[in-house]
């Protein structure tokens, strides 16, 4: 099959990037995953404009990647902070994939700025493309794409 067989918007890549495919959403999810969870912390760390952060957080909450939860420090008024939901944690592989690509192809002078390791065993963590039979799959050559006709028709495009 060929990509031209179905319209661009049917693909899950298209549907996902239509929601979160601007650079801020990736960075917001990364920061919230790393416990940068308050509005002004995000403003300070990302350098994003306040209105844009407000809108992005809104769509991330609306689509269930991020949850808004109240907290209160001693003697302070109640505030809100943001946490990843399960759906938001499921987004982590996207961030790991972006990070790996950058580590390999945009090398800084000192190598990868951040490395991930397995809590407990300490070994470095990476992404692998594997089939259900357990074979490691090289991207580009060894992947076949199959169109699910029902889903394409159901998408109403």
Q: Which of residues 12-31 bind a copy of itself (CB under 8 A)?
A: 12-19, 21-23, 26-27, 30-31
Q: Which of 73, 75 has the CB closer to a copy of itself?
A: 73
Residues 6+ apart with CB under 8 A from 9: 15, 18, 155, 157
Q: Which of 59, 115 has the CB closer to DNA?
A: 59
Q: How many residues bind a copy of itself (CB under 8 A)?
A: 98
In this structure, the chain runs to a length of: 157
Can residue 153 be called a binding residue for a copy of itself (CB under 8 A)? yes
Report the C-alpha gap between 57 and 83 in whole angstroms. Answer: 11
Sole binder of DNA in the list 1, 2, 12, 51 (CB under 7 A):
51
Can residue 47 be called a binding residue for DNA (CB under 7 A)? yes
Can residue 80 be called a binding residue for DNA (CB under 7 A)? yes
Give me the sign of the Cα torsion angle 133, 137, 141, 144. Answer: positive
Q: Which of 89, 82, 69, 72 is nearest to 41 (CA)?
A: 82
Report the C-alpha gap between 88 and 31 in whole angstroms. Answer: 12
- Residues near DNA (CB under 7 A) are 22, 24, 38-41, 47-52, 54-55, 57, 68, 75-81
């Amino acid at each position: 099959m060929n990509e031209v067989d179905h319209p661009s918007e049917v693909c899950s890549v298209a549907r996902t990037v239509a929601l979160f495919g601007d650079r801020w959403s990736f960075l917001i999810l990364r920061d919230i995953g790393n416990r940068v969870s308050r509005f002004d912390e995000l403003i300070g760390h990302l350098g994003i404009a306040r209105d844009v952060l407000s809108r992005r957080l809104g769509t991330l909450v609306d689509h269930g990647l991020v949850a808004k939860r109240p907290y209160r420090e001693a003697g302070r008024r109640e505030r809100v902070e943001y946490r990843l939901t399960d759906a938001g944690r499921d987004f982590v592989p996207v961030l790991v994939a972006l990070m790996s690509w950058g580590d390999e192809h945009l090398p800084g002078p000192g190598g990868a700025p951040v490395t991930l390791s397995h809590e407990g065993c300490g070994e470095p963590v990476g992404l692998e493309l594997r089939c259900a039979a357990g074979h490691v799959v090289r991207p580009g050559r060894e992947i076949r794409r199959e169109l699910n006709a029902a889903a394409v028709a159901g998408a109403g495009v």
